[in-house]
Chain A
């Protein structure tokens, strides 16, 4: 079988570039105010992730990563955005996404988190000899940015977007740190994610009917007062 061997240097540059795109979409999601825009960004992030996975599989000669890439593509680029679209249409969400902390501040915190991630993964980068080792910091940053997004947004749908972005980061971390998880685990995680999306969807309908709103601030009313 014909196999084209790419110089390691070039391969690592391409991987870094894709990682940068993932990080860029993560930042984009942090500042994006419109909900359709968020979904679009999430789709892009999934696409970059999928491309990256496939490319890593090609470079490292791990064929099961192709399947991972396909799985990512079908789930995170096609299925989940589609579900979210339907969800938003059914819930008739028109409003812009409200944030608790203003956008420049969120950006600054995000940048600090990226720097922190690079600082934290420095010892690992020195130990590892994988082509993808430089992207571990990006993966960690993506996880943290996802969590940050969940903290700074008020709307329930953006919470799930943050959650999905976090999962993207985790998947990315798995690819970059160890060339992906065993396929069985990956299938399991993908399935869990799908389930989570469905369950979130059902919950949102319930919350919407109960509170006439999807702002998670309303849920503070559930707290038992003394």
Chain B
């Protein structure tokens, strides 16, 4: 890549970011060349990808920290339509998030991808992994509609090839196809949205409107701005997996290799959040309050539905995928609230909501990445994705279990980890709604807070299930466990993510001060003035009297309790004894009789069953003709997404119907085709002469 020289400063953050992207392209090329030495290709490529990600993190932290905006025009692109790159604090923030998780996952991949050695060639995995990272970096750096869409497509195409990596199974190909369809329908909507914006930026017919700079200067009529926003929101929601556009997500994420799932779920979805923030707060700038309400309502819907679906899953990765839907919902609650507060001209509250959303974006990236990496380690060790076939893995994989537990606590929004901080901030923002002038909002938004609380509780239940069934108890599987602990690069990747979770949870004031510049830029107010007024230890979003949280003190408290319990139980000899389980005198108890995932989720299924398409079958084969003595008992449970039947099946049906009707034009007879052209010519001659 060639850059227009910047004479003032030789190296700025944007140059570092550009270097990181170029490096990823070079690594992709390198991986292609190292086709014949797979082991070396894995180590070298993922190491270099980790370095490139680290460069992006540096660029991002620098850009946000200094609060500056850098722009360069690349010498590539179409004639007269060059690509523009711009690194402002918002882009810098997302660059940091994407770069940080990419760094952890790249380190993890050095160990994880070696698991494929001897089974299949990993060259395509490495190449598309690098292109995927580069695509994500470019999406947040793009400063014109053309470059944005090109990067967006690189990202989508690369992730498609990653999803289809294990392509011998039909379900993988089906999932990848579904993903590709949804991604493209979304991309079309985004393209149209940019078309509307560019048309108004410099008038139709002037191509100069395609840069974001031109759009920033422009004034949009409110009805066209609404069209552009709704299109863009639809497109980005399809990528983010907002209910009801989430169907691809639980299909595609589980079948991809786990390091890729970590990236897709952790950061690829976040590019959609970036897009929503960029379009609304930066490009359109002035919007009516109901846009925020749309985002908020869909966010709430995604949060609740996502977690309920997740609870019903027994596939570890599918469960995590549904939790991505939930967490995207929580992020959108923050973003939607920020939009509502902005349009009612309450910048401080808007800043709180926006920071809450962004903080959750960062948190979700880290803990979801951690959880997917942990799930990858488990699946790698057991060759099993179904939780019902796992159990007791904490004895075989103590490292993975502990690190996975950190992820579970984080995602369940429990202190002292990071999920708590951002969800707590979101709550604070929701509870500020009485200050809004609209009575409708005053009444409805606190209900949103209730739904968010429900989500948090259900998420905690879900991860009690996920962790408990996977790691605790005894092995439930049919075949004997030969589970082994994850190797060192994998452990290192997970460890770094877990430590980041802790850091983000304990020291939120530092991070909030760091990213405050984004809020200042887009909603015109800083949060840090009130948030860290009582020193770095206390997070006080609005005022000390209203609410405060100190991660450090909570951590200290928890440490004291844990060490006291440890001293009490472990130092005194004989306090812990291992004995067989009490079987109530049944004597034939086996490991299949343990409390399992289905039984754990059953009460919640009874309450929320109307939301799902549940089919339960019990088949008793009686012994000696009497039902009281079953010889064998078959239980089958099938839970399906109702939305698939309600929304997607009709769409699929209609497309097939239309295709069949259009197919009638194709008679396969040459005379008919000639007749079509003949009639067309005659009609054109008569009407357009």
A115: Cβ under 8 A from any B Cβ? no
By beta carbon, the residue of chain A nearest B678 is A147
* Interfacial chain B residues near A148, Cβ < 8 Å: 678
The residue that A217 contacts in the complex, of B669, B681, B689, with Cβ under 8 A, is: B669
By beta carbon, the residue of chain A nearest B671 is A151
CB–CB B678/A223 < 8 A: no
A120: Cβ under 8 A from any B Cβ? yes
Please report the C-alpha to C-alpha distance between residue A220 and residue B677 in the assembled complex, in whole angstroms.
Answer: 18
A152: Cβ under 8 A from any B Cβ? yes
Please report the C-alpha to C-alpha distance between residue A150 and residue B670 in the assembled complex, in whole angstroms.
Answer: 9
By beta carbon, the residue of chain B nearest A162 is B674
* Interfacial chain A residues near B669, Cβ < 8 Å: 216-217, 219-220
* Interfacial chain B residues near A153, Cβ < 8 Å: 671
CB–CB B660/A216 < 8 A: no
B439: Cβ under 8 A from any A Cβ? no
Proximity bits, A131-168, B CB within 8 Å = 1, else 0: 00000000000001001101111100001000000000
The residue that A220 contacts in the complex, of B668, B686, B689, with Cβ under 8 A, is: B668
Please report the C-alpha to C-alpha distance between residue A109 and residue B668 in the assembled complex, in whole angstroms.
Answer: 24
B584: Cβ under 8 A from any A Cβ? no
Q: Shortest distance in angstroms between B687's beta carbon and chain A's nearest beta carbon?
A: 11
Please report the C-alpha to C-alpha distance between residue A100 and residue B670 in the assembled complex, in whole angstroms.
Answer: 12
CB–CB B689/A120 < 8 A: yes
A221: Cβ under 8 A from any B Cβ? yes
Give the residues from 653 to 683 in chain B that come closer than 8 angstroms, CB to CB, to chain A.
660, 663, 666-671, 674-675, 677-678, 681-682
B78: Cβ under 8 A from any A Cβ? no
Please report the C-alpha to C-alpha distance between residue A222 and residue B666 in the assembled complex, in whole angstroms.
Answer: 11
Q: Of B660, B668, B682, B686, which is in contact with the most chain A CB atoms at under 10 Å from its CB?
A: B668
CB–CB B670/A223 < 8 A: no
* Interfacial chain A residues near B674, Cβ < 8 Å: 147, 150-151
Please report the C-alpha to C-alpha distance between residue A79 and residue B208 in the assembled complex, in whole angstroms.
Answer: 57
Please report the C-alpha to C-alpha distance between residue A153 and residue B685 in the assembled complex, in whole angstroms.
Answer: 24
CB–CB A223/B666 < 8 A: yes
A126: Cβ under 8 A from any B Cβ? no
Q: Shortest distance in angstroms between B618's beta carbon and chain A's nearest beta carbon?
A: 41
* Interfacial chain B residues near A222, Cβ < 8 Å: 668
A226: Cβ under 8 A from any B Cβ? yes
The residue that B685 contacts in the complex, of A120, A151, A219, A223, with Cβ under 8 A, is: A120
A159-B670 contact, Cβ under 8 Å, with A120-B689, A226-B660: yes
Please report the C-alpha to C-alpha distance between residue A154 and residue B672 in the assembled complex, in whole angstroms.
Answer: 11
Q: Shortest distance in angstroms between A144's beta carbon and chain B's nearest beta carbon?
A: 8
The residue that B670 contacts in the complex, of A144, A219, A226, with Cβ under 8 A, is: A219
By beta carbon, the residue of chain B nearest A119 is B686
* Interfacial chain B residues near A220, Cβ < 8 Å: 667-669
By beta carbon, the residue of chain A nearest B668 is A223
Residues of A contacting B: mostly = helix
By beta carbon, the residue of chain B nearest A152 is B671
Q: Shortest distance in angstroms between B675's beta carbon and chain A's nearest beta carbon?
A: 5
CB–CB B668/A221 < 8 A: yes
Please report the C-alpha to C-alpha distance between residue A216 and residue B667 in the assembled complex, in whole angstroms.
Answer: 12
Give the residues from 184 to 226 in chain A that come closer than 8 angstroms, CB to CB, to chain B.
216-217, 219-223, 226
A116: Cβ under 8 A from any B Cβ? yes
CB–CB A151/B675 < 8 A: yes
By beta carbon, the residue of chain A nearest B682 is A116
CB–CB A226/B671 < 8 A: no
CB–CB B682/A100 < 8 A: no
CB–CB B668/A216 < 8 A: no
The residue that B686 contacts in the complex, of A100, A120, A223, A226, with Cβ under 8 A, is: A120
Q: Shortest distance in angstroms between B680's beta carbon and chain A's nearest beta carbon?
A: 11
* Interfacial chain A residues near B670, Cβ < 8 Å: 159, 216, 219
* Interfacial chain B residues near A150, Cβ < 8 Å: 671, 674
The residue that A216 contacts in the complex, of B663, B671, B685, with Cβ under 8 A, is: B671
* Interfacial chain A residues near B685, Cβ < 8 Å: 116, 120
Q: Shortest distance in angstroms between A102's beta carbon and chain B's nearest beta carbon?
A: 15
CB–CB A100/B671 < 8 A: yes
Please report the C-alpha to C-alpha distance between residue A3 and residue B669 in the assembled complex, in whole angstroms.
Answer: 55
Please report the C-alpha to C-alpha distance between residue A221 and residue B689 in the assembled complex, in whole angstroms.
Answer: 38
Give the residues from 63 to 111 in chain A that come closer than 8 angstroms, CB to CB, to chain B.
100
* Interfacial chain A residues near B668, Cβ < 8 Å: 219-223
By beta carbon, the residue of chain B nearest A159 is B670
Q: Shortest distance in angstroms between A154's beta carbon and chain B's nearest beta carbon?
A: 8
By beta carbon, the residue of chain B nearest A100 is B671
Please report the C-alpha to C-alpha distance between residue A120 and residue B689 in the assembled complex, in whole angstroms.
Answer: 8
By beta carbon, the residue of chain A nearest B676 is A151
Please report the C-alpha to C-alpha distance between residue A223 and residue B666 in the assembled complex, in whole angstroms.
Answer: 8
By beta carbon, the residue of chain A nearest B670 is A216
Q: Of A151, A216, A222, A223, which is in contact with the most chain B CB atoms at under 10 Å from its CB?
A: A151
CB–CB B689/A226 < 8 A: no
Please report the C-alpha to C-alpha distance between residue A169 and residue B192 in the assembled complex, in whole angstroms.
Answer: 44
By beta carbon, the residue of chain A nearest B689 is A120
* Interfacial chain A residues near B678, Cβ < 8 Å: 144, 147-148, 151
* Interfacial chain A residues near B689, Cβ < 8 Å: 120, 123
* Interfacial chain B residues near A152, Cβ < 8 Å: 671
* Interfacial chain A residues near B682, Cβ < 8 Å: 116, 144
* Interfacial chain B residues near A159, Cβ < 8 Å: 670
Please report the C-alpha to C-alpha distance between residue A217 and residue B675 in the assembled complex, in whole angstroms.
Answer: 14
The residue that B663 contacts in the complex, of A144, A217, A219, A226, with Cβ under 8 A, is: A226
Q: Shortest distance in angstroms between A219's beta carbon and chain B's nearest beta carbon?
A: 6
* Interfacial chain B residues near A120, Cβ < 8 Å: 685-686, 689
Q: Shortest distance in angstroms between A93's beta carbon and chain B's nearest beta carbon?
A: 18
By beta carbon, the residue of chain A nearest B669 is A220
Please report the C-alpha to C-alpha distance between residue A221 and residue B671 in the assembled complex, in whole angstroms.
Answer: 14
Please report the C-alpha to C-alpha distance between residue A222 and residue B689 in the assembled complex, in whole angstroms.
Answer: 37
* Interfacial chain B residues near A223, Cβ < 8 Å: 666-668
Please report the C-alpha to C-alpha distance between residue A220 and residue B668 in the assembled complex, in whole angstroms.
Answer: 4
* Interfacial chain A residues near B675, Cβ < 8 Å: 151
* Interfacial chain B residues near A151, Cβ < 8 Å: 671, 674-675, 678
Please report the C-alpha to C-alpha distance between residue A144 and residue B670 in the assembled complex, in whole angstroms.
Answer: 17
By beta carbon, the residue of chain B nearest A156 is B670
Q: Shortest distance in angstroms between B511's beta carbon and chain A's nearest beta carbon?
A: 57
Please report the C-alpha to C-alpha distance between residue A216 and residue B670 in the assembled complex, in whole angstroms.
Answer: 7
Give the residues from 615 to 632 in chain B that come closer than 8 angstroms, CB to CB, to chain A.
none
By beta carbon, the residue of chain A nearest B663 is A226
By beta carbon, the residue of chain B nearest A147 is B678
Please report the C-alpha to C-alpha distance between residue A144 and residue B682 in the assembled complex, in whole angstroms.
Answer: 9
Please report the C-alpha to C-alpha distance between residue A219 and residue B689 in the assembled complex, in whole angstroms.
Answer: 35
By beta carbon, the residue of chain A nearest B673 is A151
* Interfacial chain B residues near A144, Cβ < 8 Å: 678, 681-682
By beta carbon, the residue of chain B nearest A220 is B668
Please report the C-alpha to C-alpha distance between residue A217 and residue B682 in the assembled complex, in whole angstroms.
Answer: 25
Please report the C-alpha to C-alpha distance between residue A220 and residue B672 in the assembled complex, in whole angstroms.
Answer: 10
Q: Shortest distance in angstroms between A129's beta carbon and chain B's nearest beta carbon?
A: 20
Please report the C-alpha to C-alpha distance between residue A217 and residue B672 in the assembled complex, in whole angstroms.
Answer: 10
Q: Shortest distance in angstroms between B496's beta carbon and chain A's nearest beta carbon?
A: 53
Please report the C-alpha to C-alpha distance between residue A220 and residue B670 in the assembled complex, in whole angstroms.
Answer: 8
Please report the C-alpha to C-alpha distance between residue A221 and residue B668 in the assembled complex, in whole angstroms.
Answer: 7
Given pairs A100-B671, A147-B677, A216-B671, 15 additional interface contacts (CB within 8 A): A116-B682, A116-B686, A120-B685, A120-B689, A123-B689, A144-B681, A147-B674, A150-B674, A151-B674, A151-B678, A216-B670, A219-B670, A223-B666, A223-B668, A226-B663
Q: What are 29 A-B contacts with C-beta separation under 8 Å?
A: A100-B671, A116-B682, A116-B685, A123-B689, A144-B678, A144-B681, A147-B674, A147-B678, A147-B681, A148-B678, A150-B674, A151-B671, A151-B678, A152-B671, A153-B671, A154-B671, A159-B670, A216-B669, A216-B670, A219-B668, A219-B669, A220-B667, A220-B668, A221-B668, A223-B666, A223-B667, A223-B668, A226-B660, A226-B663
A-B pairs, 4 with minimum CB distance: A223-B668, A220-B668, A216-B670, A151-B674
Name A's B-contacting residues (CB within 8 A): 100, 116, 120, 123, 144, 147-148, 150-154, 159, 216-217, 219-223, 226
